[in-house]
Amino acid sequence: MSKINGFVGRRNFLKLAGIGGVGIGVSGVSSVILSGESAVAQKPTTTEVKPQPVNPQAALARLIEGNKRFVEDKRLNPNQSKLRLQETAQGQYPFAAILGCADSRVPAEIVFDQGLGDLFVVRVAGNVVSPTAIGSLEFATAVLGAQLIVVLGHSQCGAVIAATKGEPLPGRIGTFVEEIKPAVETVRDKSGDLTENSIIANVQYQSKNLAESSTILRGLIKEGKLKIAGGRYDLASGRVTLVS
C-alpha cells in the first residue's frame, strides 16, 4: 500500500474502504487525504527514513512497559523535547491509538509514559464508540498506520455509574450513557460489584462494537495489521489491566 509522508494514497484508501472508485460516501475523508498529498508534494524532498509501522504485539508491549514506569514513578517522559516538537511538525506516525474516557484523570500520554506523536488519542465520556470516534480511528489506522487500538476504561467512571442507575439526565448527557446501557445489562445479574463489572463489560462491549462497526477496521484486523485491545485504568494505583 503506497504512502506519502505516512498517508495512504486515495485509491488505496477507497479500496480499503470497500467502495472502489466511488467517492461519494467518503468524499470528505478523501478530500483530506488528497489535500495532505498535495501539501506534501510541494515540500522539498528529504532523505529521512520514515519509521515503519509498529506491529500490534510490539505496540502493546510498549504501552504496558510505559504504564509500568508510570506506576513505579520511573517515567522517562520520552519524545517531549524541542527536537521532537520540530520532527512531529513535519508529520505524525503514532504507533498506537487510544479510545479513552474524557475523564480528566486519565490522560493517555501520561499514564502510558509516551510523548509527542506517539499516540493518536480519541476521548469521549464513557469511552463509547460513536460515528466520529470510528472515523477518527479509521484515520489513525488506515491513513497514519497505527496497528493497535486500545479501548481504555477506568475505575469509578461516572458515565458507567449513570448507566447503571438509569435515571433521566439533562441535556445531551444521556446520549453517551445510552450507549453504555447494553453493556450494563449483560452483567446486571452477575455477582460482585455492579459498577466494577459494568466498567469492564463496557470496555469489552465497546471493543467488539468498534471492530464490527467499521469495514475498514475489520479489514485491517483480518489482514493481521490491526489489534483492538481493552484495558481498565485504576485511578488510585495508575495501573492499566488488560481485560480483552
DSSP state of 65: H
Beta strands 3-4 and 96-100 are: unpaired
**Confidence grade of residue 100 (pLDDT, cut at 50, 70, 90):** very high
- Residue 228 near residue 133, CB atoms below 8 Å: no
**Residue 41, pLDDT above cutoff 80:** no
Helix (H) or strand (E) holding 231: strand 227-233
pLDDT over 90, % of the chain: 79
pLDDT at residue 8, rounded to an integer: 55
pTM higher than the cut 0.95: no
* Local structure of 198: helix, strand or coil: helix
Q: Maximum distance among all alpha carbons in the chain?
A: 62
Read off the pLDDT band of 239 (50, 70, 90): very high
Label residue 32 by pLDDT band (50, 70, 90).
very low
pLDDT band at 30, cuts 50/70/90? very low
Cα atoms found within 13 Å of the Cα of residue 4, Cβ hemisphere only? 18
- Mean pLDDT over residues 1-22, rounded? 47
As a whole number, mean pLDDT of residues 215-242 equals 98
pLDDT band at 226 (very low <50, low <70, confident <90, very high): very high
Task: Assess contact for 133 and 100: CB atoms under 8 A.
Answer: no
pLDDT at 21: 36
Q: Residue 83 and residue 194: Cα distance in Å, rounded?
A: 47
Residue 15 — very low, low, confident or very high, per pLDDT cuts 50/70/90? Answer: low
- For the segment 110-128, what is each residue's pLDDT rounded down to a tens digit? 999 999 999 999 999 999 9
Amino acid identity of residue 202, one-letter, is: N
- Pinpoint the residues of the chain covered by CATH 3.40.1050.10: 52-242
Please name the CATH architecture into which domain 52-242 falls. 3-Layer(aba) Sandwich (3.40)
Q: What is the pLDDT of residue 2?
A: 44
Helix (H) or strand (E) holding 136: helix 131-138
